[in-house]
């Protein structure tokens, strides 16, 4: 199943620089591993915001929930999830 996920990040200003750097390093490793696996299909930054739009390809809602709640930045995120279905007028059978 494909999901469109918008993540707005709100890291507290009083988080120490060391804690911030450590969380960001773990977040990068976690997200890049999922990208290499093909689970996190696409990620785009939203200009002018500490936010992204992503496409996930997962088995079901539960898998997406587990992935998102496992993000090191999850406690600092506002997340919006939209399930996607292939449009009947699409000319391709895949995501190219």
Cα gap 89→72, rounded to integer Å: 38
Pick the CATH number of 2-84 from 3.30.70.1060, 3.40.50.150, 3.40.50.2020, 3.30.300.130: 3.30.70.1060
What confidence score (pLDDT) does residue 94 get? 73
What confidence score (pLDDT) does residue 93 get? 78
The tens digit of pLDDT for each residue in 38-94 reads: 999 999 999 999 999 999 999 999 999 999 999 999 999 999 999 999 888 988 877
- Residue 42, CA atoms < 13 Å, CB-side half-sphere: 13
Between β-strands 40-45 and 2-9, what pairing exists: parallel, antiparallel or unpaired?
unpaired
Q: Where are the domains of the chain?
A: 2-84
- For residue 67, which phi and psi values (nearest 5 degrees)? -65, -50
User: How many CB atoms are closer than 10 A to CB 70?
Assistant: 10
- Reading the block at residue 84, the tokens are 């996607």
């Amino acid at each position: 199943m494909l999901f469109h996920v918008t993540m707005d990040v709100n890291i507290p200003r009083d988080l120490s620089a060391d804690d911030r750097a450590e969380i960001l390093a773990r977040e990068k490793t976690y997200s890049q591993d999922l990208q290499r696996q093909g689970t996190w299909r696409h990620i785009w930054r939203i200009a002018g915001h500490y936010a992204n739009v992503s496409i996930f390809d997962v088995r079901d809602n539960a898998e997406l929930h587990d992935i998102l709640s496992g993000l090191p930045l999850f406690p600092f995120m506002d997340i919006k999830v939209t399930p996607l279905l292939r449009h009947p007028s699409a000319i391709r059978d895949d995501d190219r």
